[in-house]
Amino acid sequence: MTRAERSVGNGVTATGAGDNVAALTLDQNGIICDCNCATEALFRYRRSEIVQRHISMLLPQLAQLDFMEDGRINQRLHFLCHIGHAFQAVPQDGECFAGELFLNIADDMTGGFVSVIVRPAEEPTTGSERHSA
């Protein structure tokens, strides 16, 4: 496995995930089953502190949301991720940041799970920050 690949449990690998890209595996109820090392670094929790906890511990906006509907990712959540909606991410130190989410359903013998990638959102650039050639 290369540095660009991070195992996130249950045989799922997040390819291209850098040091600041968290990869988590959730069950259909939003409970964290596993995560990569970058999740620990980005959210400042040890793996043992977040596994078996609900994803809303890290992403509070997902507290009241059903991840799965009829075996598919919740349509509203899918839409928000697709348009690049920034979700509030809360690390252990309380220094919140905006995070972009990427979701994928990975089926297995037990009915599937959800692979979640969390990447810090890029800050929008203003006209004064652009460099002229």
Total count of domains within the chain: 1
Contacts of 104 by beta carbon, 8 Å cutoff, 6+ apart: 114, 115
Question: Residue 65 is part of which domain span?
Answer: 5-122
Confidence (pLDDT) at 51: 97
Q: Tens digit of pLDDT for each residue in 61-118? A: 999 888 788 878 888 888 988 888 899 999 999 999 999 999 887 765 555 688 899 9
**What CATH number did the domain enclosing 61 receive?**
3.30.450.20
DSSP at 3:
T
Residue 113 placed within a domain: yes
Is 129 within a domain? Answer: no
- Is residue 128 assigned to a domain? no
> For residues 116 and 90, what is the distance between their CA atoms, to the nearest angstrom?
16
- pLDDT, position 57: 96
- 129 or 91, higher pLDDT: 91
**Helix (H/G/I), strand (E/B), else coil: 47:** helix
